[in-house]
Amino acid sequence: MIRIGLIGCGAAMQQLHLPAITQLPGIKATWIVDVEMERAAVLARKYDIPNVTDDYTQVTDVDAVLIGTPHYLHAPMTDFFLDCGVHVLCEKPLAIKISDAERLVTKARDRNLILAVGVFRRYYPISSFLRHAIEIEWLGSVERVDIEEGASYKWDLQTHSMMERRKAGGGVLIDTGSHTLDRLLWWFPKSEVMLDSYHDNSECGVETDCEIRFYVLWKGHQIYVRAELSRTRTLRNTFQIFMSSGMIEVPANIPDRGWFLDHRLSKLAEDIKPLSFDLSDQINGRTTIQSYFRYQLRDFCAAIKTGKEPLNAGSTVIPVVLLIESCYAKRQILQEPWVNFGMDRILLNTKEA
């Protein structure tokens, strides 16, 4: 039996991680930690968790912890539990600073501990399919990638930490981008990234909109990438992977569907239309998003037992932490269309006066 402590009682822990724990044999939540003791106590009663505290340093007799606190606490809490000889599954991002992320990965390796990160979208069947399709050059070599993910922000926040730069580390880039960019870089293992430009609208706080342009250097050639992220606008919400013989398009956050075009079929038909594919379980039907938190947790537990790295090992998220830090370091102002429209009106009124 793996005894696990739950650090932080936010929406992700309540709605996704805790239900996953109850559905897995061989794992038992024995501690729950939150600065809001009443909230922690309610969850402890609901899920039969024996120990409750508001101080994570009081957690004892656990094999592992699952950290789901505000971003700025991820590194120090992970550091503490690794020092205690405890395996860690930390929600994304592993750290705000690349120096902290690299230090934690080194410490976990030196102490033979499992350090995993909550990038659950890697477990989608569509993610594995894309990684394999790119590797075997199913539709030829990848030439460029275009990504859009955005919608009105509706996450059930328990605190205001996500709206404070010091605590969150940033806005939509470090939040949504930790998933979006992670999947992309995971599809190109052992690649290098060269940042071209980064623009966001964070003059008065955390950014709600941003655009990144960079190159992925993989297997001897450059792949151009544009990624647009938003908390205010509904975007296309897909990855478009353009290849020398066609293209693949997959939803940003749907586990098992996609479309592709194979230009080689033009020899057989004049009008080539996108062909859809479905990777859902044909017997059990579609799997809910919550299920992938269960798969992630099961992989983490298996890694603890066997010593084999999980799919979401901490060492594999280093490239995305580095890319996000590089973006913030080279930030330029995002020219938003409504701002330009307002300036145009001011200039017009000035001329008329």
**pLDDT tens-digit profile of 5-49?**
999 999 999 999 999 999 999 999 999 999 999 999 999 999 999
Measured between alpha carbons, how far is 307 from 113 in angstroms, rounded to an integer? 8
Q: Which range (81-85, 102-106, 239-243, 332-336) has the least confidence? A: 332-336
User: Residue 129 domain-assigned?
Assistant: yes
Measured between alpha carbons, how far is 162 from 72 in angstroms, rounded to an integer? 10
Q: How much is the pLDDT for 264?
A: 82
Residue 145 has pLDDT above 70, yes or no: yes
Q: Within this chain, do residues 127 and 152 fall inside the same structural domain, yes or no?
A: yes
User: Residue 203 domain-assigned?
Assistant: yes
Residue the block writes with tokens 């145009």:
344
Residue 287 has pLDDT above 80, yes or no: no
User: Residue 285 domain-assigned?
Assistant: no
Domain boundary (118, 138, 157) is at 118
100: which residues sit within 8 A by CB, 6+ positions away? Answer: 75, 79, 94
Q: Within this chain, do residues 329 and 200 fall inside the same structural domain, yes or no?
A: yes
User: Residue 60 domain-assigned?
Assistant: yes
E-only strand ranges, 221-318: 221-230, 238-243, 246-251, 257-262, 275-278
Average the pLDDT over 95-106 and give the result: 98
Domain boundary (73, 102, 118) is at 118
Residue the block writes with tokens 């966001």:
200
Average the pLDDT over 148-160 and give the result: 81
Q: How much is the pLDDT for 283?
A: 54
User: What average pLDDT is seen over the chain?
Assistant: 92
Looking at the 3D structure of the chain, how many domains does it have? 2
- Sheet of 209-218: strand order equals 275-278, 257-262, 246-251, 238-243, 142-150, 221-230, 209-218, 192-200, 331-333
Q: How confident is the model at residue 288 (pLDDT cuts 50, 70, 90)?
A: confident
Measured between alpha carbons, how far is 117 from 112 in angstroms, rounded to an integer? 16
Q: Within this chain, do residues 73 and 139 fall inside the same structural domain, yes or no?
A: no
Cβ distance 76 to 167 under 8 Å? no
Classify strands 209-218 and 192-200 as parallel, antiparallel or unpaired: antiparallel
Pairwise pLDDT comparison (228 vs 271), residue with the higher score: 228
Structure token pair of residue 66? 């699952």
Q: Please report, rounded to a whole number, the percentage of residues in the chain having pLDDT higher than 90.
A: 81
Q: How much is the pLDDT for 282?
A: 56
Q: How much is the pLDDT for 275?
A: 83
Whether the model pTM is above 0.85: yes
User: Residue 180 domain-assigned?
Assistant: yes
Q: Within this chain, do residues 78 and 134 fall inside the same structural domain, yes or no?
A: no
Q: How much is the pLDDT for 154?
A: 78
User: Residue 339 domain-assigned?
Assistant: no
Residue 285 has pLDDT above 70, yes or no: no
Q: How much is the pLDDT for 147?
A: 98
Average the pLDDT over 80-87 and give the result: 98
> Looking at this protein, which amino acid is placed at residue 8?
G
| 43 SS3 class | helix
Q: How confident is the model at residue 163 (pLDDT cuts 50, 70, 90)?
A: confident
Backbone angles phi, psi at 185, to 5 degrees: -70, -25
Q: How confident is the model at residue 335 (pLDDT cuts 50, 70, 90)?
A: confident
Residue 97 has pLDDT above 60, yes or no: yes
Q: How confident is the model at residue 178 (pLDDT cuts 50, 70, 90)?
A: very high
Q: How much is the pLDDT for 344?
A: 54
Average the pLDDT over 45-65 and give the result: 97
Q: Which range (82-86, 108-112, 270-274, 320-324) has the least confidence? A: 270-274
321: which residues sit within 8 A by CB, 6+ positions away? Answer: 93, 94, 95, 97, 98, 101
User: Residue 311 domain-assigned?
Assistant: no
Q: Within this chain, do residues 148 and 83 fall inside the same structural domain, yes or no?
A: no
49: which residues sit within 8 A by CB, 6+ positions away? Answer: 6, 29, 30, 31, 32, 43
Q: Within this chain, do residues 145 and 104 fall inside the same structural domain, yes or no?
A: no
Q: How much is the pLDDT for 349?
A: 56
Q: Within this chain, do residues 88 and 215 fall inside the same structural domain, yes or no?
A: no
Average the pLDDT over 320-326 and give the result: 98
Name the residue range of residue 52's domain.
2-118
Q: Within this chain, do residues 263 and 321 fall inside the same structural domain, yes or no?
A: yes
Helix (H) or strand (E) holding 53: strand 51-53
Residue 353 has pLDDT above 70, yes or no: no
Q: Please report, rounded to a whole number, the percentage of residues in the chain having pLDDT higher than 70.
A: 91
What CATH number does the domain containing 226 carry?
3.30.360.10
Q: Within this chain, do residues 243 and 158 fall inside the same structural domain, yes or no?
A: yes
Q: Which of 26, 17, 53 is nearest to 38 (CA)?
A: 53
Backbone angles phi, psi at 260, to 5 degrees: -150, 155
Average the pLDDT over 290-317 and give the result: 97
User: Residue 306 domain-assigned?
Assistant: no
Q: How much is the pLDDT for 142?
A: 98
Q: Within this chain, do residues 6 and 106 fall inside the same structural domain, yes or no?
A: yes
Domain boundary (118, 140, 167) is at 118
What CATH number does the domain containing 103 carry?
3.40.50.720
Q: Which range (138-152, 168-182, 283-297, 323-337) has the least confidence? A: 283-297
Cβ distance 304 to 115 under 8 Å? no
Q: Within this chain, do residues 322 and 237 fall inside the same structural domain, yes or no?
A: yes
Q: Within this chain, do residues 73 and 200 fall inside the same structural domain, yes or no?
A: no
Q: How confident is the model at residue 205 (pLDDT cuts 50, 70, 90)?
A: confident
Average the pLDDT over 145-151 and give the result: 97
